[in-house]
Amino acid sequence: MRYAVIGAGLAGLSAAYEIHQHAPEAAIEVFEATDRIGGKMFSVPFHSGPVDMGAEAFLARNQEAYAFFTEELGLRTVTPSGLPSSVYMGGQLRPLPHAGMMGIPADAEPIREIISEESARRIDAEAEQDPIPWTPGQDYSAGRLVRERYGDDVVDRLVSALLGGVYSCTADDLGIRATIPRLAATFDAMAEAGEPVYLSAAVRRLLEKRAQAAGSARGAGTGQGSVFAAFPGGYAEVYETLAERSGARIFIDAFITGLSRDPKGGYRLTGGGEGAYDRVILATPAPTTALLLKGIAPEAAQHIAGIRLASSAVVGMKFDTDEGLPQNSGILIAADEPGLHAKAFTLSSRKWPHLAERGGAVVRASFGRFGDDALVRAEEDDLVDYALDDLQAITGFDGRAAGLSEIYVQRWFGGIPCFDEHILERVRQAKEALAEISDLGVTGAWASGVGVPAVLADARRVARRLV
């Protein structure tokens, strides 16, 4: 049996690995368009050790992913320092308020200082408005909903900063169900029970559940450890191990431009590979997947083509000293903050003790939001200047004086699918249209959700279905 996997990111490599586990005799070929494997996992060899320019951590609370990396692949993980994160708004660095769901509070109290009196009043009086006309199963823009119920500043100062840190989009371009599924599920439950649906009541219900769950976990002595984990040698440990243990022949610089049915059965590729393949897995970003599916599954291709992508740029910087860098893991920047270019800083050597041990400081600056690629396309020198200027304006840390010894600028064009209020439906329809085709699989962040555990689980599931 011959398998072709297109794309050597996390999805493609874990699909190849999974096929090999279940069908060790299978011939697996992986085709990667660029000159390296890993996709959005990319550990750059700084002089003092590898620094991740894409994904840097994963949700270790996800037992399946944690067990896969540590037990199955035998990788060692490291945990963050636990230093708090801050948010920069109104010209001040403030502790990130925790009492809410991705910055959406149940009442005004925890964020009173950072929003207008009018918004505070609206939050506390939300139950006096008409209920949200919610149909179970629907999705709706997170930004629009919070603007309508609470006020613009709650979105621009908090919700967009928090969600944008993960999704490279402002809250207006993100769906509630697509990004905060438990909140959408609470709306569903309220609507199904015939209760009026209110944002504040739904958030309160979720926070109570979270407090109960935390209480019972403590009571049962099941300390879950850190929420996030990383790899001491960066994500290279993951992609190199997966590649080695996948038993696959991996072709880099192999840009696949077409996929067609072979008259004798199976598939043929254009742009790489030879002969026919019995099974094909497309582990490529949405636009490429749509293009490759066009001739084989036009309906699915059409749904996938509707998925939009957000771009971002990361500037990784190594300084000789960390003196003066605040004791924070990261800093989010409010979307309405004037005069700044960056959207967030990860103070990597504060966040990760294994990076601090190398001496000096490592900081990552992130730029770019959906619909605004100008910064992602900016000159490299300009991006570095913006990163240094913004870091100094926000924290007082003078990166030029601190000895900027290494810099790496990474642009992620179309790096993250935009998890707007349409994506879940598009993915559902695409999967439905593909359900009958048993020798072809599609997977990747657009189909599964952006987090590493979700991408990994979906890719392994798709691979098992094909074996």
Q: Judged by CB under 6 A, does residue 54 bind ligand FAD?
A: yes
Rg (CA), the chain: 23
| Four-residue CA torsion sign, 415, 421, 422, 425 | positive
Q: How far is the CB of 89 from ligand FAD (least distance, A)?
A: 23
Task: Quickly count: other Cβ atoms within 10 Å of residue 44's Cβ.
Answer: 16
**Which of 4, 5, 9, 51 is close enough to bind ligand FAD by CB under 6 A?**
9
Q: Which amino acid is at 129?
A: Q
Give the C-alpha separation, 256 to 322, whole Å: 45
| Measured CA angle at 329 (ends 36, 229), to 5 deg | 55
Q: Judged by CB under 6 A, does residue 57 bind ligand FAD?
A: yes
Tokens of 101: 């769901």
How far does the chain reach from its first CA to its final CA, in angstroms? 9
Give the C-alpha separation, 187 to 341, whole Å: 36
Please give the C-alpha separations between residue 447 and each of 338, 423, 431, 459, in angstroms, as whole numbers. Answer: 35, 9, 9, 9
Cβ proximity to ligand FAD: between 170 and 200 the closer is 170
Site string for ligand FAD, 422-451 (x = CB under 6 A): ----------------------xx----xx
Give the C-alpha separation, 320 to 31, whole Å: 40
Give the C-alpha separation, 279 to 25, whole Å: 14
Q: Judged by CB under 6 A, does residue 103 bind ligand FAD?
A: no
Give the C-alpha separation, 427 to 141, whole Å: 17
Cβ proximity to ligand FAD: between 35 and 436 the closer is 35
Cβ proximity to ligand FAD: between 232 and 451 the closer is 451
Q: Judged by CB under 6 A, does residue 288 bind ligand FAD?
A: yes
**Which of 17, 19, 40, 243 is close enough to bind ligand FAD by CB under 6 A?**
40
Give the C-alpha separation, 63 to 61, whole Å: 6
Q: Judged by CB under 6 A, does residue 111 bind ligand FAD?
A: no
Q: Judged by CB under 6 A, does residue 239 bind ligand FAD?
A: no
Give the C-alpha separation, 42 to 316, whole Å: 12
Q: Judged by CB under 6 A, does residue 416 bind ligand FAD?
A: yes
Q: Judged by CB under 6 A, does residue 10 bind ligand FAD?
A: yes
Q: How far is the CB of 216 from ligand FAD (least distance, A)?
A: 27
Cβ proximity to ligand FAD: between 198 and 239 the closer is 239
Q: How far is the CB of 33 from ligand FAD (least distance, A)?
A: 4
**Which of 46, 69, 412, 419 is close enough to bind ligand FAD by CB under 6 A?**
412
**Which of 11, 104, 281, 315 is close enough to bind ligand FAD by CB under 6 A?**
11
Q: Judged by CB under 6 A, does residue 370 bind ligand FAD?
A: no
Which residues are near ligand FAD by CB under 6 A? 6-12, 31-34, 39-41, 54-58, 255-256, 283-285, 288, 312, 314, 412, 415-416, 444-445, 450-452, 455
